[in-house]
């Protein structure tokens, strides 16, 4: 019997039947890293484009508010065209003529897919909830004339981002609208 034990090779490695916990964790980490890169790319850029447009528009709404608060005798409004492709800042006394930049021939007109909105190509603006398709402010920063909460929706494909302007404070909040295809 002792001879049978001595005849067995001493350098054999026992056979493994599975993966160790460390190997399993490394595999899961690699798979989840790949998924984190692939899944957003497969969803398209619509939401990113709508959010980019919302960021620029939000900034311009706030600029319009600040311009009015700093010069209440010359209130400004932000206006939207019916096609939903552009907007501009104008004097409240003449909303059809965009504001001149620095006194030269350039005007403050923003077009989706151009200039600061180059990343927003394909985004449309829905401003139907606004009276006269514009938003104005008073000297305290409140929406003028008083109205229910102004809402501007930016849409790219099935993705939408809403900008809501508080009627009392003029604060702009952003809300992503999720649409299930």
User: Does domain 46-177 sit in CATH 1.10.3720.10?
Assistant: no
Distance of CA 82 to CAs 6, 87, 123, 129, 153, Å?
93, 10, 14, 12, 13
pLDDT of residue 10: 60
pLDDT of residue 7: 59
pLDDT of residue 161: 93
Is the pTM above the cut of 0.85?
no
User: pLDDT under 50 in the chain at which residues?
Assistant: none
Nearest to 58 by CA among 143, 157, 158, 173: 173
The burial of 37, by beta-carbon neighbours within 10 Å (0-12 exposed, 13-18 middle, 19 or more buried), is given as: exposed
User: Using one digit for the tens of pLDDT, what is the confidence trace for 2-49?
Assistant: 555 555 556 666 666 776 777 767 777 778 777 666 655 555 688 889
């Amino acid at each position: 019997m002792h001879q049978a034990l001595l005849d067995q090779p001493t350098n054999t490695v026992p056979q493994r039947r599975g993966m160790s916990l460390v190997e399993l964790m490394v595999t899961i980490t690699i798979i989840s890293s790949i998924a984190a890169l692939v899944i957003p790319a497969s969803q398209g850029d619509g939401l990113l484009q709508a959010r980019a447009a919302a960021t620029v528009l939000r900034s311009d709404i706030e600029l319009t508010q600040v311009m009015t608060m700093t010069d209440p005798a010359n209130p400004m409004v932000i206006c939207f065209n019916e096609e939903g492709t552009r907007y501009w800042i104008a004097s409240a006394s003449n909303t059809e003529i965009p504001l001149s930049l620095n006194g030269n021939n350039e005007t403050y007109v923003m077009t989706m897919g151009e200039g600061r909105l180059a990343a927003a190509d394909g985004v449309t603006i829905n401003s139907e909830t606004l009276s006269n398709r514009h938003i104005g402010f008073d000297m305290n920063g409140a929406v003028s004339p008083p109205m229910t909460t102004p809402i501007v929706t930016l849409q790219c494909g099935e993705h939408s981002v809403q900008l809501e302007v508080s009627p009392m404070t003029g604060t702009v909040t952003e809300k992503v609208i999720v649409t299930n295809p």
